[in-house]
Amino acid sequence: MDSTKRRFFAPCPHGLEGVLEGELHSLGVSTTTKTEGGVSFSAPWSTMYWVNLNTHIASRVLWEVGQSPYRTEHDVYNAAYALAWPDWFTPAQTIKVKVSARRCPLPSLDFLTLRIKDAICDKFAAGKQRRPSVDTERPNIRLDAFLDQSTVTFYVDTSGEPLFKRGHRVGSVEAPLRENLAAGILRLAGWSANDVLLDPMCGSGTIPLEAAFMARQIAPGISRNFSFERFLVHDAQRWDHLREAARAKQVAQAPAAIYASDRDPAMVKVAQRMFQGAGVAIDVRLKQSNILDLEAPTDKGVMVINPPYGVRLSRSDELESFYPKLGDWLKQRFAGWRAYVLTGDARLSKLIGLTPSKRIPLFNGALECRVYEFVIVQGGARRRLRPTNQA
């Protein structure tokens, strides 16, 4: 396969751009540019396969196929028409065009979506091929256009279903964390596979599952399909080879224990089924327990907590009385541990009675949250000292 570099854009949850850039470097991508909401990168085609398969953090990988200045809708139509769509997919495949914009002076994004779709279909018709059909629910090929004030950029989505859909969810669960957000918190926490991990409010088990995949070096996308498999320019032999290489990397067991629990027996069952289906049940020590009844399983480790938010799962006043108890529990039983709490509830930091050493902004969809880091020492939490202050 050719080693020509193409341009890609990988969107991710706001707040994880730095983590995603680091991950891309570890996957062999050297040329990256971080922007708000994602990372652009240049890489050979096969690296795009590898990133789709192995990223824990990106939501998608978009292939940039064209960029052009514009002033009118007609300019956008012409720019779309100029691209070689029939080289990339067949008209038997259904398409969906999605347009997003920042400071675009044109009045209607819906009209632009229609014009771009027309340009693509007209291009096929000009080559005496049939016009592709639109399917807005389950398209075979997803096409994106992004307009700023004066430039339109076109992308073909190489992923298809968003990458946080790993294919392991069982049943429907209220308010699960997205997989790439769960993985991002683990990375922000600096958790590594050799650290003991505890998620004492594990719900459907998203955080322990991501951790188990990282620890076992299982590619997050190994059980799913990708849109690029349908492209005319797909190299099936190379893809098979890369999937085999990913399988060969897997290790038989996580090096350190991963503990997970939840007080709701129904949630524990859901998590259990998901761990079994994903082949990591042996790596996660799962039980049903109220968080406040747990003892530290080891003298140091990393804890990640995703408590219910007032606006979502639980009653607000319950949480108000819960946060001080959570703080006491951490102080009394988890000296030696680092705890990371993801919440959109600003009262937590006031009520928990511990001083966070970091507050990292992170978006859970549109909800602005923080990851609070607490370094637990005997009798309280320690602020992380600046090096110049250290004794």
Ligand X SMILES: C[S@@+](CC[C@H](N)C(=O)[O-])C[C@H]1O[C@@H](n2cnc3c(N)ncnc32)[C@H](O)[C@@H]1O
Report helix, strand and coil shares of the chain as percent, to nearest 5. Answer: 35, 25, 40
Query: Which of 120, 351 has the CB closer to ligand X?
Result: 351
Contact between 64 and 7 under an 8 Å Cβ cutoff? The reply is yes
Site for ligand X contains 263 (CB under 6 A)? yes
Residue with tokens 């038997």, as numbered in its chain = 92
Residue with tokens 């639980």, as numbered in its chain = 314
List Cβ neighbours of 34 (8 Å cut-off, separation of 6 or more).
17, 18, 20, 21
Contact between 329 and 355 under an 8 Å Cβ cutoff? The reply is no
Query: Which of 43, 352 has the CB closer to ligand X?
Result: 352
**Given the rule CB under 6 A, which of 20-28, 31-39, 171-179, 251-259 is the region that contacts ligand X?**
171-179
Distance CA 182, CA 187 (A): 9
List Cβ neighbours of 110 (8 Å cut-off, separation of 6 or more).
none
Q: How near is the Cβ of 318 to ligand X at its closest, in Å?
A: 8
Among 43, 177, 183, 348, binds ligand X (CB under 6 A): 177
Distance CA 89, CA 63 (A): 13
Q: Strand, helix or coil at 235?
A: coil
Distance CA 177, CA 364 (A): 8
**Given the rule CB under 6 A, which of 119-127, 188-196, 214-222, 301-309 is the region that contacts ligand X?**
301-309
Q: How near is the Cβ of 81 to ligand X at its closest, in Å?
A: 44
Site for ligand X contains 364 (CB under 6 A)? no
Query: Which of 312, 383 has the CB closer to ligand X?
Result: 312
What H or E segment, with its residue span, contains residue 266? helix 265-278
Distance CA 184, CA 180 (A): 6
Site for ligand X contains 303 (CB under 6 A)? no
**Given the rule CB under 6 A, which of 170-178, 189-197, 243-251, 383-391 is the region that contacts ligand X?**
170-178
Residues 186-205 that bind ligand X (CB under 6 A): 201, 203-204
Q: How near is the Cβ of 30 to ligand X at its closest, in Å?
A: 33
Contact between 144 and 152 under an 8 Å Cβ cutoff? The reply is no
Site string for ligand X, 217-256 (x = CB under 6 A): ----------------------------------------
Query: Which of 91, 184 has the CB closer to ligand X?
Result: 184
Q: How near is the Cβ of 308 to ligand X at its closest, in Å?
A: 5
Output the CA–CA distances (angstroms, integers) from residue 129 to 92, 95, 156, 232, 363, in the order listed.
Answer: 10, 15, 20, 15, 44
Site for ligand X contains 291 (CB under 6 A)? yes
Among 308, 310, 327, 356, binds ligand X (CB under 6 A): 308
Q: What DSSP string describes 17-36? A: HHHHHHHHHHTT--EEEEET
Query: Which of 91, 205 has the CB closer to ligand X?
Result: 205
Cα dihedral 236/240/241/246 (nearest 10): 140
Among 207, 215, 258, 375, binds ligand X (CB under 6 A): 207
Angle between helices 109-126 and 73-81 (to 10 degrees): 30
Q: How near is the Cβ of 173 to ligand X at its closest, in Å?
A: 6
Query: Which of 92, 175 has the CB closer to ligand X?
Result: 175
List Cβ neighbours of 266 (8 Å cut-off, separation of 6 or more).
none
Query: Which of 333, 383 has the CB closer to ligand X?
Result: 333
Query: Which of 172, 378 has the CB closer to ligand X?
Result: 172
Site for ligand X contains 313 (CB under 6 A)? yes
Residue with tokens 């085999």, as numbered in its chain = 244
Q: How near is the Cβ of 329 to ligand X at its closest, in Å?
A: 10
Site for ligand X contains 208 (CB under 6 A)? no
Which residue number has the CB closest to ligand X? Answer: 203
Site for ligand X contains 175 (CB under 6 A)? yes
Residue ranges that bind ligand X, judged by CB under 6 A: 173, 175-177, 201, 203-204, 206-207, 262-264, 267, 290-291, 306-308, 313
